[in-house]
Amino acid sequence: MLKGIQPAISPSLLKVLAEMGHGDELVLADAHFPAHQLHQNVLRADGVMIDTLLTGISELIEFDQYVDAPLVMMQAVTGDQLDPQVEVKYLAAISQSISPVPNLIRIERFAFYERAKQAFAIVVTGETAKYGNILIKKGVTPFKDKS
């Protein structure tokens, strides 16, 4: 185990985060998401909730500051309703490390699937909240001169 890294961040997820470049996207998917159908690079985080992963990931990477919304969630399908507490919980997790919290948008279900196909990786979690998936876009880590 490494110091300062959320224990829910597995070695394989840590490797993926390190390999991602700026502009690459990562999907944190709920337990119902068709990850293996959409993507070859699927990691498992069974039993881990997305807000826990967001807390740990937010401490490790920058979110893309060159796009309007580096956080993307799925819109409800017509006839369904969103639980607004899911988004509140995710943004609260991110806000533990980042202020202000980056913008979040919602896109249509199949548009979200298309973005997921192009993502760097998908992490399947133990999240069971309906429409609980979130896509994050990695940004550039600022250079800090230590001289």
Which of the residues are catalytic? 22
> Which residues are annotated as part of the binding site?
30, 109, 131-133
Q: Prior bond to 100 cis, omega within 30?
A: yes
Digit-coded pLDDT (tens) for 8-28: 999 999 999 999 999 999 999
How far, in Å, are 8, 11, 56, 128, 130 from residue 83 at the CA level? 24, 31, 23, 12, 8
Instruction: Count the neighbouring beta carbons within 10 Å of the beta carbon of residue 27.
Output: 26
Digit-coded pLDDT (tens) for 34-80: 999 999 999 999 999 999 999 999 999 999 999 999 999 999 999 99
pLDDT of 1 reads: 65
Residues 6+ apart with CB under 8 A from 37: none
pLDDT of 5 reads: 92
Digit-coded pLDDT (tens) for 106-145: 999 999 999 999 999 999 999 999 999 999 999 998 777 6
Between CA 85 and CA 73 the distance in angstroms is: 13
Mean pLDDT (whole number) for 82-90:
95
pLDDT at 90 over 70: yes
DSSP letter string, 108-120: -HHHHHHHHHHSS
pLDDT of 8 reads: 94
pLDDT of 142 reads: 79
pLDDT of 4 reads: 87
pTM listed for this prediction = 0.94
pLDDT at 147 over 70: no
pLDDT of 66 reads: 94
> Which residues are annotated as part of the binding site for substrate?
30, 109, 131-133
